[in-house]
Structure formats: C-alpha cells, structure tokens
Structure 1
Amino acid sequence: MPRPPQPPFTAETAALKARLAEDAWNSRDPATVSRAYSSDSRWRNRDTFLTGHVEIVRFLEQKWARENEYRLIKEVWAHANNRIAVRFAYEWRHADGQWYRSHGNENWEFDEDGLMQVRHASINDISITEQERKFHWPLGRRPDGHPGLSDLGL
C-alpha cells in the first residue's frame, strides 16, 4: 500500500516524510512504526542488523521497554531522488533514573510506494542530568511550534 509522500523527494516532501517518521516513533508503538517500512526492509541500527516487520517490531518492543520517557526530534540533512538523510536526537531515561540524549544520523532509501526499504542508523548516547534535558513536551507527538534540533543548538 502506498505511503505518501513518495519519491522523488523535494525539500518539502522530504521534511514531511521525516516529520511523519518522527511522529510515528514518538508514538512508541512498534506496529505503527513498522507500517512505514517495506515487508523486506533491511536495517542497521548501531550494531544490530534486522530484516522485515517481525524483526523490526521485536527490536522496537525491546528498545522502548528500556528507553523510558522517549522523545525524539528528526531533521532532514539531505535528500535526492528516493533517499533522505536525517540527523536526530532523542532523550530517554533508564530504569535506574539516569537520563540520556542519543544523537545520530540515518540514511533512508525508499521504494516507489514510499515505503522505507533500507535504514542505516549510527547513534551515540550521552548521559545528561535532568536539568540538561531539552525535550519537555508530554509523551507523544512533538507539538507544532516546539523548537527543532537546529533551534535547540543540537
């Protein structure tokens, strides 16, 4: 089933695709997130390699079981034809109470229906204090008007 916007991407449609991905990930619902990917989607997430919806859903269930109070912002870095590169940051709290800000870059490749068929993610975690947090909206979608990564100096 097509997943607009579809390639080739413009600056506007690439930004919309990134925002839709951000919204889905901020839902913390693995089934919702997995619908944006082709059935044979291939991922590299840090040192983990995944293929297909079943592995993606399992991975996300485990991720959000340990990453509490997860809030994410994505920003387009570049786009061309059926590819988009984004940079992102997310904040989360470990069960022991320690806060982290995870920074990273993703390279995305889409099929003609707008489903992501390849995702490469490189991510670094930095421990932060609660006072250093910058993402304070209620869990779920980042509100319109909330600063993005560049606005926050990230």
Structure 2
Amino acid sequence: MTRAPVPPFTYDEAVTKVRMAENAWNTRDPEKVAMAYTPDTRWRNRSEFLNGRDEVQEFLTRKWATESGYRLIKEIWAHGENRIAVRFCYEYHDEQGQWFRAHGNENWEFDSDGYMAVRHASINDVPISEEDRLFHWPQGPRPDDHPGLTALGL
C-alpha cells in the first residue's frame, strides 16, 4: 500500500506532504500519526532515539499526555527526491498552566511507498505568556485560512 504523494517529490507534492503531517499531528492521535511511518522507522527527537512504529506511538502517547493545548504549524524548508526538511513551531502548556512555544527543524526521509523511514528533530522550548500565544484555532487541524509561520513572523 502506498501513502501518496510518493517520491520523487515535486515542490507541490512536498508541500502537500508537510501539510498532511501537520494535520495528522494536530489530531494528537498517536496511533494515526504512527501509521505515517515505516514499521522500522528510525527517529531522533531531541535527545531521544526511537526505532519502529510501536516506539513512536508510545512516545507520542507520553508527549501528548503532558503537552496540553497542543497546536502545531509546519512549513517546508527544502526538499529533494525522497527527502523533505521542515521548520515548525507548536504551542502547548504544562500541568501548571505555563505556556511554551517550541521551535524546531526536522529532516525527513521517505521510502518508495511514501512512508517516513527516518526523522531527525531538533527542538527548543521557549516559555511564553498566554497573551503571547499565536495559535488560537480549535483543537485539531489548523484552518486553511490561519496564517503560517512566515506570515506570523516566526
């Protein structure tokens, strides 16, 4: 089974792949998100190294149990035949109500069926006040008319 679009990516297909990933992550559904990766996917997320869909799903379950109010925007940075680089920001708050904006970059590599085989993520969290939040849509995928990172000055 394939997960279109598949490599080699045109620019428009790479942009579509980025938005598909953003929309999936904004569901906060670990099982759904994990299915976009190969069964033997390899990840580096900050200082954590994961191998396989099961570890990805466990990681995402832990992540979203502590990151409340999670809203994510991804933007393409560059692409190649089977690789895409993105930058992203997401906002969330912890159990004490402290808001954060996480800034990061990801490098993705896809298999020939369009599943992500490799993901490298570097992320920094910056505390923000609730008044400084920029991502205010209802929980779930970002509305099409909501500005992206560049338009928001991020």
TM-score computed with the length of structure 1 as normaliser? 0.99
The C-alpha deviation readout for 1:85-135, integer Å capped at 9, x for no partner, is 000000001010000000000000000000000000000000000000000
Cα deviation, residue 10, structure 1: 1.1
State the Cα RMSD in Å: 0.4
User: How far apart, CA to CA, are the structure 2 residues paired with 1:7 and 1:87?
Assistant: 20
User: 1:118 matched to which residue of 2?
Assistant: 118
The C-alpha deviation readout for 1:123-151, integer Å capped at 9, x for no partner, is 00000000000000000010011000000
User: How far apart, CA to CA, are the structure 1 residues paired with 2:59 and 2:20?
Assistant: 20
Q: Mark the runs of 5 or more structure 2 residues left unpaired by the alignment.
A: none
Is 1:97 the counterpart of 2:97? The answer is yes
User: 1:79 matched to which residue of 2?
Assistant: 79
Q: Mark the runs of 5 or more structure 1 residues left unpaired by the alignment.
A: none
Cα deviation, residue 66, structure 1: 0.3
The C-alpha deviation readout for 1:62-101, integer Å capped at 9, x for no partner, is 0000000100000000001100000000000101000000
Large movers: runs of 4+ above 4 Å: none
SS in 2 for 1:95: coil
Equivalences, count: 154
SS in 2 for 1:136: coil
The amino acid of 1:129's aligned partner reads S
User: How far apart, CA to CA, are the structure 1 residues paired with 2:40 and 2:54?
Assistant: 10
| Amino-acid identity (%) | 63
User: How far apart, CA to CA, are the structure 2 residues paired with 1:82 and 1:100?
Assistant: 32
SS in 2 for 1:148: coil
User: How far apart, CA to CA, are the structure 2 residues paired with 1:79 and 1:52?
Assistant: 24
The amino acid of 1:28's aligned partner reads R
TM-score computed with the length of structure 2 as normaliser? 0.99
